[in-house]
Amino acid sequence: MTRPAPPPGDRRGRAAADPPSTPDPGTPGSGQVPVCPRHPDRESYVRCQRCGRPACPECQRPAAVGIQCVDCVREGARTVRQGRTVFGGAPTDGRPLVTMWVIGICVVVFVLQQLVPGLTGRISFVPVLGDSQPWRFLSSGFAHGGLTHIAFNMYALWVMGQYLEPLLGRARFAALYLLSAVGGSVGLLLLASPQTVPECLVTRGAWCTSAVGASGAVFGLFGAFLVLQRRLGRSAAGMYVVIGLNAVIGFVLPNIAWQAHLGGLVTGAAAAGIVGYLGGRRSPAEQPRRTVHWLGLGALLALLVVLAVAKYALA
């Protein structure tokens, strides 16, 4: 008994009813001119080494071998582990942008102080008013009392920022500066003699003194420098001399809030200790280390708030 012959074109007995698939436009052998998927009006005979699609000159990116399209480069960047600084911060291009922004803000505020009557009194830190006007804890760190005052502070900020910002990363450096500014105000609050508002207006005691300047934050950078240099095994002998001279000046010259200097110094050192010692150095688990750092810095801010609230409650 003979079997019926299979339909032409199919030796396994299946009907060859389906038409052959049509090649995608722009693929080799399709007979169509290849065009860039992102710019369909542009012909392109150069193909991405990763996905094989045409890429016009605008969408081509040099690769180790050949070129890749911008989509494949972007997708590859998502899977590549980003480099971090020695203390876990995002690497910078070397420009201390946060430092420059802070200097710019301080200069703008200083100019406004000269143009707007009463502005200095509204943003300076007056301990007796801090509980009802808490913004003064931070705003005072951007105001200054004179040209020499701002010039000295901005020079010190520029010198320290150029070193610390690339070392820590911009986010951590910004947190260090802001925490140190608040810590300077808290130091003045804790170490100044408490008085009530009426007594303050009559006697002009320590709690009535209007404290302005980035000195507390700058001393915080000094303290951070000491801690981080020790963590890296580097010498910081010169900084001890600078801090000692400034400490003597703070006690000898009038109208200098040494309490704010001390508060900023301690706060900056504590913040640097959190970043430098918690989570490990060059730890392979970058995400847990970053989480520990930010939780630690948040806890430091909470401690400053608690100290200020307790001081006002007990005064």
* Angstrom distance (rounded) from CA 215 to CA 141: 7
Tokens of 102: 């802070």
Annotated catalytic residue: which of 140, 144, 261, 293?
261
DSSP H or E segment with residue 205 = none
Eight-state DSSP code of residue 57: G
- Alpha helix (H) ranges present in 169-211? 170-191, 197-203
Annotated catalytic residue: which of 140, 215, 283, 293?
215
* Angstrom distance (rounded) from CA 265 to CA 223: 5
Three-state secondary-structure class, residue 241: helix
* Angstrom distance (rounded) from CA 246 to CA 184: 15
261 is catalytic: yes
What count of other Cβ atoms lies within 10 Å of the Cβ of residue 103? 19
Eight-state DSSP code of residue 211: B
| Residues belonging to the active site | 215, 261
